[in-house]
Amino acid sequence: MKGIAILYQAILPPVNNGIQKPMKLGGYADSGADIAYELQKNGVLLITPSQNPKTENDLDWVFPDTKEGIQLAMDKGAKIFWLNTVLYKNHPIENFFNQNIEIIGQLPKNVDLYDDKLVTNTLLKYNGLPIPKTDLILKENQTNYKLTIKFPLVVKPIRGRGSQGVSRVYNKIELDNKLKKLFAERKYGTSVYVEQYLRGQEITITVMPPGKYQLNNKTKLIDKYWSLPAVTRFNHKNGIAPYNGVVAVINNSKVMGDKELNAEKIKESYQHCEKVAKLIDAKAPIRIDCRANENGDYFLFDLNMKPNMTGASRSHRKNQDSLSALAARKIGWYYNDLLLNMIAQKWKPNYSFSNRSISLS
């Protein structure tokens, strides 16, 4: 196999229409190092910044996603790049799309487009997919906005990350205080998103792209998007699943049992999520969070085009399984199996492909 280099986020993404996506402390170097360590342990050719990376030192394993960092990885022999970072249009990796490299991850332009909750929900609604009722509040209208949905509401950044900046509010006073805080922080831009609060069960579904997979010790060609088993979330804080940087997902998440997984409404949610993956042309796993209303009908409320891929590989991170890793174990994949199957779906970029137009219709 060609040498693989894993990128982490070293720079803040550009402001997009007044909206800033905040940067995670460490820029996903921790999960990148988890991936690299696990792959190297299992004989995959890894290109690393350090000749002898130390297990506990994240930055020994991953390259910054700057033009200089990517060039350094290429100079060291990398031919495959794992984009374990926040992507956006004109990301530095696009400078290397004509240099015979392969990619594990998404097309940057697509991530930039669909990271915007307004764009994504417009697309989903247009295609008949169930989403919660929503409203948009601009900073300039934070004292005289009008709502079309009833309390309680969930307040969200338009370009957020996990549950950071997300909260449930029960009345206008709480909403006003939350808006004032969010706009004062200036972390999330000049507009926020509010949506109907759903009181039912929350689940997370990881959708895999079409390709060749190792399943039950056999190579299987799957010619459509397909879902890993649903993971249910619990131990919410004020109705919101806590950020995994604060509470490890193994402490508030588990794969559903066989009976639950065979329920018609879960199967229907798989179909909805797989349709989303096809609409956005996902080239690597995506994760979609869904939540049920009082009738048990699930609505899609968060699309994550870079699911967290932490893993319990290094000795000091044995509690760091991700939601996708938990789901994968249900079909017999350990962390290494999940990573190897992701590598198998690598793709080759080219300029005409990367710069094609994308329409919501």
Kind of pairing, strands 153-157 and 134-138? Answer: unpaired
Average pLDDT over residues 296-302: 96
User: Which of 197-201, 238-242, 336-340 shows the lowest mean pLDDT across its residues?
Assistant: 238-242
Is the pLDDT higher at 83 or at 189? 83
**Chain segment 20-34, per-residue pLDDT in tens:** 787 888 999 999 999
Check residue 20 and give its pLDDT. Answer: 73
**Chain segment 6-65, per-residue pLDDT in tens:** 999 999 888 887 777 878 889 999 999 999 999 999 999 999 999 999 999 999 999 999
Q: What is the pTM of this model?
A: 0.93
Mean pLDDT of the chain: 92
**Chain segment 66-77, per-residue pLDDT in tens:** 999 999 999 999
* Residue pair 90/113 in contact by the 8 Å Cβ criterion: no
Domains of the chain in sequence order: 3-105+349-354 (3.40.50), 133-196 (3.30.1490.20), 202-343 (3.30.470.20)
Average pLDDT over residues 310-339: 95
**Chain segment 211-226, per-residue pLDDT in tens:** 999 999 999 999 999 9
CA separation for the pair 342, 346 (Å, rounded)? 7
Backbone angles phi, psi at 198, to 5 degrees: -100, 130
* Residue pair 277/120 in contact by the 8 Å Cβ criterion: no
User: Quick check: 272 pLDDT over 50?
Assistant: yes
12-32 burial, b for 16+ CB within 10 Å, e for fewer? Answer: ebeebeebbbbbbeebbbbbb
